[in-house]
Amino acid sequence: MKRFYLGLCCFLLLLNGCGNSVEEKAVEKKIEKETGAKAQVDLSDKGMKITGATEGEKFSVTTGDATQIPKDFPEDVPLYQPAKAVGALEVTSGYSVTLTTPDAVDKVAASYKEQMVSQGWAEQASMNMGGQTVLVYGKEGGRVTNIAVMPAEGETTITVTVATEQQN
């Protein structure tokens, strides 16, 4: 499964600017060859959406202006506002959403610290490394949320990853 996610991430980086059905089919074949996953790719000027399945797991990835927050994203995990969603990944066992905001890293991290606790999450770790903050929260049932907040090109990038089932 790790190979699948590594391959999928590489494709996300390579796809910027693609957009016709020939390119979509080529990407679908490349994903299948590299990961074994059956995928459907939709590329446009607004971004990309990839859906598919592998090893009994379904997945969905959206990027750019086409980004959609997964409809079943946990209600008890806040998504910082004001922010723009620029990427989302949904797999059977969880979610990852990437946002950008003009707000400073410290302001975003402080907001998450307050909001996560108010939603019943317990802080498990908090690290500040060279201007980047990483927060880890746990909740009953083995649920874990990792929040990475970092400066990037005059903005702040926020990545919220939620594991909805305990991982072995």
Average pLDDT of the segment spanning 116-128: 97
Residue 68 has what pLDDT? Answer: 87
Q: Tell me if 116 is assigned to some domain.
A: yes
Based on the fold, state whether residues 54 and 97 are members of the same structural domain.
no
Question: Is pLDDT of 59 > 80?
Answer: yes
Confidence of residue 168 (pLDDT cuts 50, 70, 90): low
Q: Tell me if 78 is assigned to some domain.
A: no
* Bigger pLDDT: 66 vs 125: 125
Q: Tell me if 76 is assigned to some domain.
A: no
Q: Tell me if 162 is assigned to some domain.
A: yes
Q: Tell me if 33 is assigned to some domain.
A: yes
Residue 20 has what pLDDT? Answer: 55
Number of compact structural domains in the chain: 2
Residue 155 has what pLDDT? Answer: 97
Based on the fold, state whether residues 55 and 123 are members of the same structural domain.
no
Residue 165 has what pLDDT? Answer: 63
Express as a percent the part of the chain with pLDDT over 70.
Answer: 86
Q: Tell me if 7 is assigned to some domain.
A: yes
Based on the fold, state whether residues 60 and 19 are members of the same structural domain.
yes
Based on the fold, state whether residues 97 and 52 are members of the same structural domain.
no
CATH value at residue 102: 3.30.160.110
Confidence of residue 114 (pLDDT cuts 50, 70, 90): very high
For 19-36, what is each residue's pLDDT tens digit?
Answer: 457 877 887 788 778 777
Task: Find the domain containing 114 and state its range.
Answer: 93-168
The Cα–Cα gap between 54 and 33 comes to 12
Work out the mean pLDDT of the chain and round it to a whole number: 85
Q: Tell me if 71 is assigned to some domain.
A: no
Q: Tell me if 97 is assigned to some domain.
A: yes
